[in-house]
Structure 1
Amino acid sequence: MYERSVVIHGPFQHRPGVAEIETRWVASIHYHDGQGALSLVFAPDILPFLSQLRERFTSYRLAYVARMTSTYAIRLYELLVQWRDFGERTVELDWLREHFELTDRHRNIREFKRWVLTPAVTQINAHSDLWVEWEQHKRGRVIHALTFRFGTKSGAASNKTSGQFSNAKPKLTRADVERHARPGETWDQAETRLRRVRDAGMAPPP
């Protein structure tokens, strides 16, 4: 864990003007002589986010991922659970590659679809409580972003076929607005901002 790092994307309330932070998870490790134990000291830039875990952690039933053999399926499923209230998310392909920790692997879009995206979507649809579909967006001849649309398997949703999208916008509830309101925002201001985010196919920051 000491060797691992994470990139945290802004904006940050405590650091205006900073776009992103790259930091290690652990700042130091203390080994206790003769006790068979060690202590970890988390990096300072990680601490504000760890303190929010009780309120903001992503939970799901392990049974839904236990039969998945693709690491990318599990990671994509975790993202979908985080975005569940919105039912749709558009992400840059580079952002998704970074989240999947692909580094230089599967740079070719055909390889990415064959070894990463298609198995992930297939396994989520087959084994989890969610259905998911996707479409690609091109800038010129280059695919630069993907849109995921998804929901809980029930009723008409369980009968959706690949490539068929609904034009209905995900419902924005009062609980959604209260959960994602920013400090100093009125309820009306938060609702207006979140409706714009939803209509743009994006999810609010955690």
Structure 2
Amino acid sequence: MCDTSKIITSTQCVIVVKHHTYPICETSINLLNYYFYYEIIISNIMYWTGCMGEKIKKENRVQVYQANDLVEAIYEDDLTATEHKIIRYAAAKINKSPDHFPNVSFTVTEFINAAGISSKSYHSKVKKMAGELTRKRIRIKTEDEEGWFPWFKGIVYRSGMVHITFNDLIKPYLINLTEQGRYTKYSFPTIGNMQSPYTIRLFELLQQYAPIGKRTFELDKLKEHLGVKDKYKQYGHFKSRILMRVKEELDDINVLTYDFEEIKEGRKTAKIKFDIKITDSLDLGGNLKEEDIKVFLEKARPLIKEYGYDIPNRQIRAWTIFGIDELKAVLEDMQQYSTNVGHVGAYITTILKSRRKDYLKSASKINAKDEKTKDIIMRYLNESKGTIPPVPDWHIKNKLVGRFTKEGYSSEEFEKVWEENGEYIYNVINHKAVR
């Protein structure tokens, strides 16, 4: 609630409550020389003043709802990723305000913010595709009917605003779905950073079956769902250019991914069986609490901004398991080598995973049952990179004992660690062993 006394002061008027008048400001009396006797309802004051000083709450993340029959649609044409995103965002907006159907409007900037992307080129992309998208059709087949029709009657782009009119035939597949059941839902920013249109479509088709964990498609049917029925005649091309690339992108985004199995009829691949894996916010190892993620976000957000990048929180959350030091190291390398990539978030995820893989490989050579011991040694080895040998073992041991003591290890516990790992640590620092 707003502080009404502040609101009234800001309006510089008199409020009448139960026939008693209360002057708000002496300046008003001197200027006007009389009181305005006007009955003011507090709610109206709040409306007209806009509750000055009150913070505006952020909108909830935009949710996309589609009837399962719509998710299963056959695409006549090969849509671009931008076209898919515009369709889904418009669908999310109309679902939130069903009374406005078939009309929905939004700014390109609003669309970009909701998607969690940072690309000025989207204005020209949206303007270009406005005329094309009204001609592209989908086929929806239900138990009762089957038909081809476009998503929209019309799209108008004007001064940064997108005005869309939906096709009336699509209304049952977008509106009041929670009452009907049989719908698929996901957060719109999930597809915001997807670069490939096939990633968006396959994500939706698998998201629908995520609770089951498996889904099998006839190969030709899958191509129709993706809008590539007449493309990739050779299965090997379809596998490398779609199945493998989509998997790679989904692995980077870390919401849902898959493994797949080819089912053959003779020597020909006839079906694809997907093993669906939910990986929301990456695999945080089961050890990280929400408080850990919150602390990481508080450190990571300003750090990323300092390096000039704009990355959605959902993606930053997924990096919690790697730690702030690893993230900083990756950002420093990108700056040092002037790394220029189109999909910054996906690139950072790939590098963090690669570094993590190297870390685990090195850690596996350390003789310790608990991860804490391995982590102390690995951090010391990482910080010792670039050390010019020879470094005597007593110097290394003295450095390490301080770290272990600080972490609560007794002298006996440290001696055991050194006995089992001292030689390996010495050899790594003196470049006599491969990490």
TM surpasses 0.5: yes
Counterpart for residue 3 of structure 2 = none
Residues 5 and 52 of structure 1: CA distance in aligned 2, closer, same or farther (over 3 Å) = farther
SS at match of 1:147: strand
1:129 aligns with 2:255: yes
CA distance in 1 between counterparts of 2:245 and 2:162 reads: 40
Deviations 1:62-102 (A, max 9, x none): 2x444443221222122222221111101111121111111
1:24 to 122, 138, 149: 149
Q: Which residue, out of 178, 197, 217, partners 1:71?
A: 197
Within 5 Å, which residues of 2 pair with 1:38-77?
Answer: 40=165, 42-44=167-169, 46-53=170-177, 56-60=183-187, 62=189, 64-77=190-203
| Corresponding residue number in structure 2 for 1:94 | 220
Offset, 1:28: 4.9
- Distance in 1 separating the partners of 2:196 and 2:154: 32
* Whole-Å separation in 2 of the counterparts to 1:131 and 1:37: 32
Q: Which residue of 2 aligns with 1:196?
A: none
Tell whether 2:232 aligns with 1:106.
Answer: yes
CA distance in 2, matches of 1:99, 1:6: 9
Would the alpha carbon gap of residues 6 and 53 (structure 1) be closer, same or farther in structure 2, given more than 3 Å must change?
Answer: farther
Bigger strand share: 1
Distance 1:57-1:37 versus aligned 2 partners, 3 A rule: same
User: Partner of 2:236: helix, strand, or coil?
Assistant: helix
Change in 2 beyond 3 A, CA 1:9/1:30: closer
Pairwise CA distance, 1:50:
2.8
Separation of aligned partners in 2, 1:105 and 1:38: 33
Q: CA deviation at 1:152?
A: 2.0
Question: What is the rounded CA distance, in whole Å, between the counterparts of 2:151 and 2:188 in structure 1?
Answer: 28
CA 1:101–1:27 in 2, change beyond 3 Å: closer, same or farther?
closer
Q: Could you tell me how far apart the structure 2 residues matched to 1:72 and 1:78 are?
A: 10
Deviations 1:104-148, CA, capped at 9 Å, x for gaps: 221210110111111001211222222311001112222111111
Residues 65 and 127 in structure 1, CA contact (< 8 A), matched pair in contact too: no
| C-alpha contact 1:24 1:43 (8 A) present in aligned 2 | no
Aligned Cα root-mean-square deviation (Å): 3.1
Give the secondary structure class of the aligned counterpart of 2:186.
Answer: coil
Task: Work out whether residues 138 and 151 of structure 2, in 8 Å CA contact, stay in contact via their aligned partners in 1.
Answer: no
Question: Percent of aligned positions with the same letter in both sequences?
Answer: 25
Displacement of 1:54 in angstroms is: 5.3
3-state DSSP class of the match of 2:211? coil
User: Does 2:212 align with 1:80?
Assistant: no
AA aligned to 1:51 is I
Check the 8 A contact 2:152/2:164 in 1, yes or no: no
Work out whether residues 136 and 145 of structure 1, in 8 Å CA contact, stay in contact via their aligned partners in 2: yes
Greater share of helix: 2
Distance 2:220 2:202 in 1: 14
SS of residue paired to 1:58? strand
Match of 1:203 in 2: none
Pairwise mapping of residues 142-153 of structure 1 onto structure 2 (< 5 A)?
142-153=268-279
- Give the match for residue 7 of structure 1: 139
SS of alignment partner, residue 106 of structure 1 = coil
**Partners of 1:72 and 1:29 in 2: CA distance:** 24
Specify the code of the residue in structure 2 equivalent to 1:97: K
1:49 positional shift: 2.0
CA distance in 2, matches of 1:78, 1:135: 19
Q: TM-score, normalised by structure 2?
A: 0.29
What one-letter code is carried by the residue in structure 1 that aligns with 2:171?
L
The one-letter amino acid of 1:70's match is S
Q: Quickly say closer, same or farther: Cα 1:26–1:78, change in 2 above 3 A.
A: closer
Is the CA contact 2:184–2:207 (under 8 Å) kept in the aligned structure 1? no
Query: Aligned residue pairs: how many?
Result: 143
Q: Is the 8 A contact 1:5 1:22 kept in 2?
A: no
Q: Secondary structure at the match of 1:145?
A: strand
Q: Give TM-score scaled by structure 1 length.
A: 0.57
Query: How far, CA to CA, are the matches of 1:27 and 1:127 in structure 2?
Result: 29
> What does residue 188 of structure 1 align with?
none
Larger Rg: 2
Q: Which runs of 5+ in 1 are unaligned?
A: 157-206
- Asked if 1 retains the 8 angstrom alpha-carbon contact of 2:220 and 2:229, the reply is no
1:165 corresponds to? none
Distance 2:199 2:222 in 1: 12
